[in-house]
Structure 1
Amino acid sequence: MTEPIPPITLPPAENPEQEGEWLQTSLHSWLNTEFIPEAINEEIAQRAAQIFMRQRMEGENDLGSLTLAIVTEMQSFDFSKSFYGEFAIANAVSDLLLESLGIDKCCGQ
């Protein structure tokens, strides 16, 4: 029988603003590297970082819940000038956070 994947919990936020700045910069860089750099990428990264920072300030530490919050709230963002959508952004945020924790995003180890 397969075992469920255990939840990934981030350490409590000591400085959510600094985390948000890091995420915005990292996500913006990822967006520009993944496809072609676009002006909208900065807005996408800023919005995702705002959502993340607010969630962290409210005490959310579960990576799955943070990812779902980003998907849900980014649905109202206008992605018409972008290659990306809310799921790609939430997954990228999750991958960046896993990398920052030293967790292999490929195999969950």
Structure 2
Amino acid sequence: MVEPIPSITLPPAHHPEREGEWLQQKLQHWLDTEFLPEIINQVIARRAAQIFVRQRMEGEDDLGALVMAIIAEMQAFDFSQSFYSEFAIANAVSDLLLDSLGIDRCCGQ
């Protein structure tokens, strides 16, 4: 029988604004290095970080719920000037957070 993947809970947010600044910088760097450095990447990173900070300030610690919130709210974002989508952004945020926690994200481990 297949076991469900356990949820990942982030540590409590003591300084969500600082987390948001860190996330915005890391996400923009990821966006700029994954394809091309473009101004729209700054806007995307800022918006994703704003969503993240608001969710954390509201007490959300579950990584899956944070990813879903980013997907849902970024659906209204105009990605026409970008190579990315709300799914790519949410996945990148998840990867960055997992890396920061020292969790290996390869192969479902």
Residues 64-108 of structure 1, C-alpha deviations (whole Å, 9 max, x = no match) = 000000000000000000000000000000000000000011134
User: Which residue of the partner structure matches residue 92 of structure 1?
Assistant: 92
SS in 2 for 1:78: coil
Equivalent residue, structure 2, for 1:12: 12
Aligned residues: 109
- After the TM superposition, list the runs of 4 or more consecutive aligned residues in structure 1 that deviate by more than 6 angstroms: none
TM-score, normalised to structure 1's length?
0.98
CA distance in structure 2 between the aligned counterparts of 1:107 and 1:5, rounded to whole angstroms: 12
- The amino acid that maps onto 1:59 is G
Q: TM-score, normalised by structure 2?
A: 0.98
Distance (whole Å) between structure 2 residues aligned to residue 64 and residue 101 of structure 1: 15
Determine the C-alpha separation between the residues in 1 that align with 2:15 and 2:107: 29
Determine the C-alpha separation between the residues in 2 that align with 1:32 and 1:41: 7
Residue aligned with 2:31, SS:
helix
Unpaired segments of 5 or more residues in structure 2? none
CA distance in structure 2 between the partners assigned to 1:76 and 1:69 by the alignment: 12
Q: Report % sequence identity.
A: 75
Measured after TM superposition, the shift of residue 54 of structure 1 is 0.2
